Structure formats: C-alpha cells, structure tokens
C-alpha cells in the first residue's frame, strides 16, 4: 500500500482529518481550529493519502509563532508542530516521518530555524520517533493535557 503526502485542502479534507484526530488523540479540535491553522500557514498542514483508496491515513498541522528562542537569547520565529496523527491501521509505514519532513520543509521556506512540539510522557513510540528525527527533550509541562498527564516538550533546530 502506497501513499502520498500533500497539502491539506479544507474544502475536501476537513471531515477526514477530524476523524483521524478523534480516532487517534484524546485532544480533539473544533472544525474552526483546523481551518484557522490552514489559513495562516497552509504549507504547514499536510495529509497522507492512501493511493489505492484515497483515504486520509494521517495529518500534521504546524503554525509559526514568535517567542523566546530555546537555543539562545532573544525573540525568534519558531515552528510549532501542533498535532500529528496516523490512523492505527496505517502506522509503521513511515507516514509520520514523511509528514514531519513535510512540516520541516514548509518551515524552512519561511526561514524558521527551530521547532518544538508537545508529546504525552506516556507516548514512548512518539518520543522515540521524534528523537530519531533529531528532537531533544527540553522540559516537562506538568498537567498539560486535560486528563492531567504531563507533556514532554521537545525541540529541534532545522
């Protein structure tokens, strides 16, 4: 089964992306949130589409923020991987890696030099993937998620 990564299309992809979000993550975003993120940084919102069925197997969405650099002093533009999710039946095929690469490529086009993300402390598979992609643990945000679990904040230079 092959797939391709392409830019999210709000007009045709929103229901499928929300389904992936609801199926994979306890944190569910309202429709307007996805649309808002896509409108502000469209090249930073990608989907993985299965070639044989046309199903959306996963997505990633990213935004650009200004804030203190995690690597030095001063204010900088940085990327924030807000959400990435792959439906269970499509995992372990390299889709998450390709989506993360698409996000990184999009951020490079906007001259972003650093990126961060939050991941549940209990999600060791995701932590391992992010470390493989060059992310390093930066700090822990206690009770970050609505169920009280802490988030590990991971950072990377790009």
Q: Is residue 134 classed as helix, strand or coil in its secondary structure?
A: coil
β-strand pairing of 45-50 with 56-68:
antiparallel
- Domains of the chain: total: 1
pTM, rounded to two decimals: 0.93
Residue 128 sits in a domain whose CATH number is 3.40.630.30
Per residue of the chain (158 residues), give pLDDT as tens.
799 999 999 999 999 999 999 999 988 899 999 999 999 999 999 999 999 999 999 999 999 999 999 888 889 999 999 999 999 999 999 999 999 999 999 999 999 999 999 999 999 999 999 999 999 999 999 999 989 999 999 999 98
Domain that holds residue 79: 3-157
148: left (phi over 0), alpha (psi -120 to 50) or beta: left
Q: Is residue 76 classed as helix, strand or coil in its secondary structure?
A: strand
8 Å CB contact between 24 and 87: yes
């Amino acid at each position: 089964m092959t797939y391709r990564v392409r830019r999210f299309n709000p007009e045709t992809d929103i229901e499928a992306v929300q389904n992936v979000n609801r199926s994979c993550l306890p944190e569910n975003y309202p429709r307007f949130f996805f649309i808002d993120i896509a409108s502000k940084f469209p090249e930073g919102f990608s989907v993985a589409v299965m070639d044989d069925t046309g199903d959306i197997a996963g997505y990633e969405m990213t935004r650009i923020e200004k804030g203190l650099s995690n690597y030095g002093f001063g204010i900088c533009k940085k990327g924030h991987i807000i959400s990435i999710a792959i439906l269970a039946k499509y995992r372990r095929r390299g889709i998450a890696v390709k989506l993360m690469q698409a996000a990184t490529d999009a951020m490079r086009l906007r001259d972003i030099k650093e990126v961060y993300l939050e991941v549940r402390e209990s999600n060791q598979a995701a932590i391992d993937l992010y470390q493989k992609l060059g992310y390093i643990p930066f700090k822990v945000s206690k009770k970050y998620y609505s169920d009280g679990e802490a988030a590990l904040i991971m950072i990377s230079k790009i």
